[in-house]
């Protein structure tokens, strides 16, 4: 048994599982009022009536179409208002499209595992891109060939790309490869792309295997390596990009892939950030048997089974760590690029032990663990990540 740093919190019941009322009142209401994760760019006035309706109707299962449907009228109304504002008030239209996208995000939360959630996600992408084309520096979708695809992989990789307006073949820019997570996908990262632009960096955003639009075969532990080989090959061929100045930043479940690519493609990256990352323990039986009563908003059982391709949670607990652990498959023994590990010490989704164990293997690592904070180490985390990124990129911005 692992002597978990969480201590008593490892067995603590947070109490919101299975209850939308408790989730809203105890966990999400204040973040919504402050427009922070997962409500960034949203408004409290958009969400309070939705959650009131869910509570009144005792709708508690996020995979129930009734839950997903509750958000759609608000998102559609915001989208309509945004379209009407385009001709006369571009700033207002941009704001409304962002708000609609956030409402659609909560509708398809936590995993795109039903036909309705898939339709909602497709609509979210459409709405988000309609707004993004209005930005002073637009974000666009770029579908590239999956050059190194194998049997079971799809043949194209959809990416979101945002490039500084002054980037050119004569003046190429550094690139942030943003690797998304289990419930946060390509349309959910506006704030980060803004921060990258301020520093003169392009952003390339991709989804992770088993999630959203990723073409990698989710049951194959080697498919991520082919995925990133194709993405990095494409980046290397783009004249506006500095191929020797690429940093991979993986968020939450995406942190696993940032750490993996830091080792498998060390010679093609200037650095990588494993932010809120799992590596080994997070898919072990001991952790999985307790994770569903920690701070994550919903039960992870169904999402994890669908993400990794297992028929049931018992099968996942038996097999997943042996197949996907970076320790079990030997990835951690490889030389890595410069690698920053950052998380909250009290993370109940991805144990801090998963970051700490990397110091026992391979190349030296860097880290910043934030006391008293849960998954991702917010709100302090980004204030530590960006100076590190600036140092690696060789550009410094003090805002």
Distance, in Å, from the CA atom of 154 to the CA atom of 316, rounded to the nearest integer, reads 24
Query: Using an 8 Å Cβ cutoff, are 298 and 271 in contact?
Result: no
In the block, tokens 């990416």 appear at 159
pLDDT at 37: 86
Within 8 A by CB and 6+ apart from 40, the residues are 102, 190, 191
Within 8 A by CB and 6+ apart from 165, the residues are 137
- pLDDT averaged over every residue in the chain: 96
Nearest CA-CA partner of 320 in 295, 276, 287, 343 = 287
pLDDT at 398: 44
Query: Using an 8 Å Cβ cutoff, are 375 and 295 in contact?
Result: yes
What is the SS3 assignment for 394?
Answer: coil
Quickly count: other Cβ atoms within 10 Å of residue 83's Cβ: 15
Query: Using an 8 Å Cβ cutoff, are 194 and 178 in contact?
Result: no
pLDDT at 397: 46
- DSSP state for residue 203 in the 8-state scheme: E
What is the SS3 assignment for 241?
Answer: strand
Model confidence pLDDT, tens digit, residues 10-43:
998 888 989 999 999 999 999 999 998 899 999 9
Options 252, 325, 336, 355, the catalytic residue: 252
pLDDT at 399: 39
- Does the active-site annotation cover 384? no
- DSSP state for residue 208 in the 8-state scheme: P
Model confidence at 65, in pLDDT bands (50, 70, 90)?
A: very high
pLDDT at 269: 97
Model confidence pLDDT, tens digit, residues 371-389:
999 999 999 999 999 999 9
What is the SS3 assignment for 175?
Answer: strand
Model confidence pLDDT, tens digit, residues 128-160:
999 999 999 999 999 999 999 999 999 999 999
Options 41, 46, 188, 347, the catalytic residue: 347
Total H helices, total E strands in the chain = 15, 8
In this predicted structure, the answer to whether residue 283 has a pLDDT above a threshold of 80 is yes
Q: Which residues of 301-319 are buried (b: 16+ CB within 10 A; e: fewer)?
A: ebbbbbbbbbeebeebbee
Handedness of CA 238, 243, 248, 249 (dihedral sign): negative
pLDDT at 104: 98
Q: How far is CA 174 from CA 64, 162, 237, 244, in A?
A: 43, 12, 14, 8
Q: Percent of the chain beyond pLDDT 90?
A: 95
Q: What domains lie within the chain, and their CATH numbers? A: 17-135 (no CATH), 139-399 (3.40.50.1820)
Distance, in Å, from the CA atom of 338 to the CA atom of 273, rounded to the nearest integer, reads 9
Within 8 A by CB and 6+ apart from 152, the residues are 217, 219, 220, 223
Q: Percent of the chain beyond pLDDT 70?
A: 99
Handedness of CA 175, 181, 186, 189 (dihedral sign): negative
- DSSP state for residue 28 in the 8-state scheme: I
Model confidence at 395, in pLDDT bands (50, 70, 90)?
A: low
- Does the active-site annotation cover 325? no
Model confidence pLDDT, tens digit, residues 299-342:
999 999 999 999 999 999 999 999 999 999 999 999 999 999 99
pLDDT at 338: 97
pTM for this structure? 0.95
- Does the active-site annotation cover 107? no
Alpha helical stretches, state H, the chain: 20-22, 29-34, 44-56, 65-70, 72-85, 90-108, 115-132, 190-198, 223-237, 253-264, 285-291, 301-308, 313-324, 353-356, 381-393
The pair of structure tokens assigned to 47 is 């969400």
């Amino acid at each position: 048994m692992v002597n978990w740093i969480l201590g008593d919190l490892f067995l603590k019941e947070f109490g919101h599982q299975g209850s939308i009322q408790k989730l809203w009142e105890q966990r999400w209401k204040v973040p919504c009022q402050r427009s922070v994760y997962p409500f960034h760019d949203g408004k409290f006035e958009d969400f309070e009536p939705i959650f009131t309706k869910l509570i009144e109707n005792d709708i508690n299962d996020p995979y129930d179409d009734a839950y997903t449907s509750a958000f759609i009228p608000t998102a559609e109304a915001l989208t309509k208002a945004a379209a009407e504002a385009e001709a006369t008030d571009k700033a207002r239209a941009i704001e409304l499209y962002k708000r609609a996208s956030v409402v659609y995000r909560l509708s398809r939360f936590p995993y795109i595992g039903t036909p309705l959630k898939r339709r909602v996600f497709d609509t979210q992408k459409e709405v988000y891109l309609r707004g993004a084309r209005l930005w002073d520096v637009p974000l666009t979708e770029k579908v590239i060939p999956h050059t190194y695809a194998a049997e079971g992989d799809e043949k194209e990789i959809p990416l979101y790309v945002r490039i500084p307006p002054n980037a050119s073949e004569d003046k190429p820019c550094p690139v942030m490869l943003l690797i998304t997570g289990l419930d946060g996908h390509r349309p959910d990262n506006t704030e980060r792309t803004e921060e990258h632009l301020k520093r003169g960096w392009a952003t390339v955003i991709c989804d992770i295997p088993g999630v959203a639009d990723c073409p990698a075969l989710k049951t194959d532990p080697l498919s991520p390596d082919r995925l990133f080989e194709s993405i990095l090959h494409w980046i290397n061929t783009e004249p506006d990009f500095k191929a020797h100045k690429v940093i991979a930043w993986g968020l939450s479940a995406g942190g696993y892939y940032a750490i993996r690519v830091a080792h498998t493609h060390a010679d093609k990256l200037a650095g990588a950030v494993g932010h809120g990352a799992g590596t080994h323990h997070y898919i072990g039986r001991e952790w999985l048997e307790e994770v569903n009563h920690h701070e994550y908003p919903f039960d992870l059982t169904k999402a994890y089974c669908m993400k990794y391709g297992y028929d049931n949670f018992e099968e996942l607990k038996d097999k997943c760590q042996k197949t996907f652990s970076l320790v079990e498959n030997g990835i951690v023994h490889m030389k890595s690029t410069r690698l920053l590990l950052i998380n909250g010490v009290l993370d109940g989704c991805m144990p801090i032990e998963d970051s700490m164990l990397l110091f026992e293997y391979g190349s030296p690592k860097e880290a910043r663990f934030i006391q008293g904070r849960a998954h991702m180490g917010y709100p302090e985390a980004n204030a530590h990540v960006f100076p590190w990124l600036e140092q690696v990129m060789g550009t410094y911005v003090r805002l």
